[in-house]
């Protein structure tokens, strides 16, 4: 399957893909091995060049692949992928690999496509993708499980991200997921505009 709605996002606008706080999927690959996991704890940390931060537990295989390759992908899944997000967030890719049963992509029939810059696979069916290069910060990584990355390429589904803004109206099936705990997610709603108040 090819996603005909995927369009490049200018790097200066890439932070907006994560600004509203969606749960993301993090993928990484190294020397033929690949993995993908869910991460509720990610955040933009700079505009241009765009930078991101994500917490990756020491037990995760994605973290090891990312540390080895120095690159990763953050992608934004949608409400119809809730089971998939819960699954790749619960199942250990390393355990699968050690059991010889193939990786998560094979086991769950996940379709992916290659990035333009990094080796990690990009998952079909998401609404945003950010290819990232690791910014090595060993103290943050070891002490806080916190990984920083520079976004080097970004894309979004033009049906819901247009002119630098999300608008999910008319596309309920493409709304982003926001994890609470234990597979319980909130789904993003519609827009509202805030305007500056006059002083009292």
Q: Is 1 in the site for its own copies (CB under 8 A)?
A: no
Which positions ≥6 away from 169 have C-beta within 8 Å? Answer: 190, 191
Q: Give residue for tokens 């091995």.
A: 33
In this structure, how many other beta carbons lie within 10 angstroms of the beta carbon of residue 41?
Answer: 14
The kind and range of the H/E element at 37 are strand 33-39
User: Which one of 91, 136, 142, 171 is in contact with its own copies (CB under 8 A)?
Assistant: 91
User: Which one of 25, 61, 166, 174 is in contact with its own copies (CB under 8 A)?
Assistant: 166
Q: Is 184 in the site for its own copies (CB under 8 A)?
A: yes
Site string for its own copies, 117-146 (x = CB under 8 A): ----------------------xx---xxx
CA distance 72 to 133: 6
Backbone angles phi, psi at 169, to 5 degrees: -60, 135
| Nearest distance, CB of residue 82 and its own copies, angstroms | 4
Kindly state the tokens that stand for 3: 């996603």
Interface residues toward its own copies, by CB under 8 A: 16, 19-23, 40-46, 51, 53, 55, 79, 82-87, 90-91, 101, 106-109, 139-140, 144-146, 148, 164-166, 168, 175, 177-181, 183-197, 199-200
């Amino acid at each position: 399957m090819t996603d005909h709605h995927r369009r490049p996002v200018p790097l200066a606008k890439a932070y907006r893909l994560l600004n509203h706080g969606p749960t993301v999927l993090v993928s990484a690959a190294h020397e033929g091995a690949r993995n993908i996991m869910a991460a509720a704890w990610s955040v933009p940390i700079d505009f241009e060049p765009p930078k991101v931060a994500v917490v990756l537990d020491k037990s995760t295989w994605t973290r090891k692949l990312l540390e080895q390759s120095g690159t990763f992908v953050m992608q934004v899944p949608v409400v119809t992928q809730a089971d998939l997000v819960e699954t790749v967030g619960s199942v250990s890719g390393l355990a699968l690999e050690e059991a010889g049963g193939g990786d998560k992509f094979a086991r769950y029939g996940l379709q992916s496509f290659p990035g333009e810059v990094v080796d990690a696979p990009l998952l079909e069916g998401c609404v945003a993708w950010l290819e990232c290069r690791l910014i090595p910060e060993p103290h943050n990584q070891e002490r806080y499980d916190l990984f920083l990355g520079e976004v080097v390429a970004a894309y979004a589904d033009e049906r819901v991200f247009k002119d630098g803004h999300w608008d999910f109206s008319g596309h309920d099936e493409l709304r982003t997921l926001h994890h609470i705990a234990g597979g319980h997610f909130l789904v993003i709603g519609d827009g509202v505009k805030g305007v500056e108040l006059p002083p009292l």
